[in-house]
Structure 1
Amino acid sequence: MSKLDSDPKTNPGSNTEKDPDEWVSGDDPMTGAQASYLKTLSEQAKRPEAFSDKLSKAEASKLIDELRQAAGVAD
């Protein structure tokens, strides 16, 4: 892969799906949007106990993926 292929400025799709564990801001508190979506998803998946307002951005992202599958919400 050339440098141009991995440069997000010339190839914006090259890094659109990064593992949450690799996020620079992954340890920051989850965003308001993540919290709202997680609350809704945890209810849809019939797992309200899964929601916690203490999650990091990375933890919230992983839980969102898990609950989307449990709730049958399409990608």
Structure 2
Amino acid sequence: MTEAKQNPKQPSNAKDAPPSNTEKDPSDWITGDEPMTGAQASYLKTLSEEAKEEFDANLSKAEASRRIDALQEKTGRGK
């Protein structure tokens, strides 16, 4: 029987996987102070309309991310 060799650069299972970089706290973002992206603005506008709340077009990327999370919670969308 041949034993399979493990690639040392790849984790053997999910438990050994490095932490994900896809869900960082917005306060830790290097570009968090930049203006929100077009995609953020579009989604935030939609969520704001659904939640019947004011849309603020002057939010930073980090502020927009936190606002999206709050409005998703309020509207039942997303996560």
Q: Which runs of 5+ in 2 are unaligned?
A: 1-9, 12-16
Structure with bigger helix share is: 1
Sequence identity, in percent? 63
Unaligned runs of 5+ in 1: 6-10
CA-CA distance at 1:14 after TM superposition: 2.5
1:16 Cα deviation (Å)?
A: 1.8
User: How many aligned residue pairs are there?
Assistant: 65
Following the alignment from structure 1 to structure 2, what is the Cα–Cα distance between the partners of residues 74 and 19? Answer: 17
Secondary structure of the corresponding residue to residue 14 of structure 1: coil
**RMSD of the TM alignment (CA)?**
2.0
Distance 1:74 1:35, change over 3 A: closer
TM-score computed with the length of structure 2 as normaliser: 0.73
